[in-house]
Chain A
Amino acid sequence: MGLFELARRVGEKRLDDLARTHARQPDRVDTGLPLGACIGGMIELVLADFALLEGSLLRVPKTAQMPIVAVSRLHIDADEDLSIFRMYTDIGADRDGQGSFLQVMTGKDRPQDIRDIAYYQFLYREYPVSAEEQDAFLGNGYGLGQDHYGMDRDELTQIPHVFAGAGRIDALLAGEDALGYERDAPGGSYIRPWTGRERRLDDGVGEKGVEKTHSFMQYVRRLPAGPTQQSGAVERLWIDFEKVESMDGRSAPAVWVDYLAGLSIDPQHLKVF
């Protein structure tokens, strides 16, 4: 390395240090969330709420306290003012959303007016490749939006933590052919799925994140009552046709169908700090 090259590199390094010092950092954009949540905060759940579930697809979270690694807001096409926020405690190994999150619905422009809280866990993912396969999720009069959904053995085997447990599937099915869910919405035998857009922030300033559209419907089923319960809890099944548009500011087209299980959370059993 010549003297000139050495001087050039030292100069570059000094200039980089100076530029790093003077570089302006944008303001945080993960603000205005309900419960005072932000990236880097913590969510504390009562694990007993999960441990006491009978025949649920949900796992008991590993720890009661989980860090918030990402936040997002769902903008529902039918009502832009409907405030649905998500606080992700896990976004998957490749930040592809195969994780878990706390979803909070609040009143319009009133983050403290909490209407619904639920904790969702990713179950499995399917990739509808052909147009015919995708049509079933896009509000064409059949498929997603029909008033019942049955999850059979083949689908249960795609859920890693269910498939791993010996005899777990048989226990879940309890002699039935499938787990039966009913649509979590009134209406006739079919209604169009809900559609919306989600912007997920994976850091506080919004440099990293994901933007995708959703076509989704929620189904519910009542779990068997536990030994100390009069009636079982209601398990949610969120079936979501997702189209990823961009990731980290760059185009990243992808389409898949996610199946997530959820459980309603009592606000008294939740802490966000």
Chain B
Amino acid sequence: MKTIRFQIAAALAAVALAGSFVAPVAFAKGSGFSSSHSSFSSSSSHSYSSGSSSSSYHSSSSSSTVSRSSGFSSSGSSKSIPTTALGSSLYAAQSSRDAAATLNTSQSSRNGGGSGSSVGGSYGGTPSYGATRYSSPAPVYSAPSYSAPAPQTVIVHQSSGINSFLFGWLLGHDSSPRETVVVPQPAAPMAPSSNDSGYQNSQPGSPPVSAMAGGSDDASGVQAQSDHLPSAAAVPQATHEQPHPFLTVLKWIVGIGIAGVLVTLLHRAWAARKARFTAQTNYRL
């Protein structure tokens, strides 16, 4: 029965395509695709080969009538062999998925107008929100930050480390002793109080009261200077005797950094060597 059907289908399809531009061989052997759902006329007009689609599917192109029976076809006849568990499971899975997709499509098309308007509303709200947020901070941020050039931050830093950046602190701390501490030092040696007051008293023509008053003022000033002197003089000596704390910290940082780099390089080299002998998982079930 099946043989007769195949032969009839083959013959009719060959006849139907004999006059077409597509070579019969191409259709017949071509991909062998055919559809003869209910009537043969529709099957030939289908020409699944769709012209050239099947022209080169099969490599060999021998006789057309024999090879016509090769390939896929649709007869619409009922199944004679029960579906296997595998086939039924796959069919159920795909059919249910298609049904769900159809349902979602139909639901979305029904609710399309409402959702569209809501989306439009949400989009309409965002620009105003964004505009208000972006309008204010931009001018405030740009003006002051770039007005002060970088070297001036060193001077600003003399007032005790407001700037917390390491570089700024470095430059400011390094230059401040020479500018603010070392330069005032030459004024300090005339502070010795006894010699200075005696010299002023021995000057002729100087009124004693005013001299006393001035002397007392000078004495107090000199005393004040002498109070500052030891601490001011001690600082340069300390800098000469022991390294600056910053340099010590810098040395530690450099040392730790070099050690870290060495350890990292060794670790990487060892990991790379181990990786050559380590299998990696590319696939999982």
A interface residues (Cβ-Cβ under 8 A, vs B): 15-16, 19-20, 22-26, 29-30, 32-33, 71-73, 76, 78-79, 82, 84-85, 103, 105, 115-116, 118, 126, 128-130, 132-133, 135-136, 142-155, 176-178, 180, 182-192, 194, 199-201, 203, 205-211, 218, 220-222, 234, 236, 246, 248-249, 264
Which of chain B's residues 98-156 have a Cβ closer than 8 Å to chain A? none
Q: Which residues of B contact A177 (CB under 8 A)?
A: 3, 6-7, 10, 66, 68-69
Question: Smallest distance from the beta carbon of A239 to chain B beta carbons, Å?
Answer: 9
Task: Tell me if A146 and B74 are in contact (CB < 8 A).
Answer: yes
Partner of B278, one of A24, A82, A146, A190: A24
Q: Give the complex CA separation of A1 and B72 in angstroms.
A: 69
Task: Tell me if A186 and B88 are in contact (CB < 8 A).
Answer: yes
Q: Give the complex CA separation of A135 and B52 in angstroms.
A: 12
Q: Give the complex CA separation of A177 and B86 in angstroms.
A: 29
Kindly state whether residue B277 has any CB partner on chain A within 8 Å: yes
Q: Give the complex CA separation of A47 and B87 in angstroms.
A: 25
Q: Which residues of B contact A150 (CB under 8 A)?
A: 6, 32, 69-71, 73
Q: Which of B57-65, B159-167, B175-183 lies on the face that meets chain A?
A: B57-65
Partner of B48, one of A142, A155, A205, A209: A142
Partner of B285, one of A71, A132, A143, A248: A71
Task: Tell me if B81 and A222 are in contact (CB < 8 A).
Answer: yes
Task: Tell me if A22 and B81 are in contact (CB < 8 A).
Answer: no
Q: Which residues of B contact A200 (CB under 8 A)?
A: 283
7 A–B contact pairs at CB < 8 A?
A73-B285, A79-B94, A82-B89, A84-B86, A154-B60, A177-B6, A184-B83
Question: Smallest distance from the beta carbon of B81 to chain A beta carbons, Å?
Answer: 5
Whether A116 touches B93, Cβ cut-off 8 Å, given contacts A19-B276, A186-B79, is: no
Q: Which chain A residue shows the least CB distance to B73?
A: A148
Task: Tell me if A186 and B91 are in contact (CB < 8 A).
Answer: yes
Q: Which chain B residue shows the least CB distance to A157?
A: B60
Q: Give the complex CA separation of A203 and B117 in angstroms.
A: 55
Partner of A105, one of B6, B66, B85, B95: B85
Question: Smallest distance from the beta carbon of A128 to chain B beta carbons, Å?
Answer: 6
Kindly state whether residue B268 has any CB partner on chain A within 8 Å: no
Q: Give the complex CA separation of A222 and B279 in angstroms.
A: 46
Q: Give the complex CA separation of A33 and B284 in angstroms.
A: 12
Kindly state whether residue B282 has any CB partner on chain A within 8 Å: yes
Q: Which residues of A contact B90 (CB under 8 A)?
A: 76, 78, 82, 185, 194
Q: Which residues of A contact B56 (CB under 8 A)?
A: 129-130, 132-133
Partner of B280, one of A26, A128, A154, A220: A26
Question: Smallest distance from the beta carbon of B150 to chain A beta carbons, Å?
Answer: 49
Q: Give the complex CA separation of A79 and B92 in angstroms.
A: 9
Kindly state whether residue B37 has any CB partner on chain A within 8 Å: yes
Task: Tell me if B281 and A185 are in contact (CB < 8 A).
Answer: no
Task: Tell me if B70 and A152 are in contact (CB < 8 A).
Answer: yes
Task: Tell me if A25 and B283 are in contact (CB < 8 A).
Answer: no
Task: Tell me if B283 and A152 are in contact (CB < 8 A).
Answer: no
Q: Give the complex CA separation of A115 and B29 in angstroms.
A: 38
Kindly state whether residue B225 has any CB partner on chain A within 8 Å: no
Task: Tell me if B57 and A133 are in contact (CB < 8 A).
Answer: yes
Partner of A147, one of B3, B48, B75: B75
Task: Tell me if A182 and B33 are in contact (CB < 8 A).
Answer: no
Whether A206 touches B282, Cβ cut-off 8 Å, given contacts A79-B93, A144-B72, A186-B91, is: yes
Question: Smallest distance from the beta carbon of B248 to chain A beta carbons, Å?
Answer: 38
Task: Tell me if A29 and B284 are in contact (CB < 8 A).
Answer: yes
Question: Smallest distance from the beta carbon of B103 to chain A beta carbons, Å?
Answer: 15
Which of chain B's residues 256-278 have a Cβ closer than 8 Å to chain A? 270, 273-278
Task: Tell me if A19 and B273 are in contact (CB < 8 A).
Answer: yes
Q: Give the complex CA separation of A238 and B160 in angstroms.
A: 83
Q: Give the complex CA separation of A150 and B69 in angstroms.
A: 6
Task: Tell me if B283 and A264 are in contact (CB < 8 A).
Answer: no
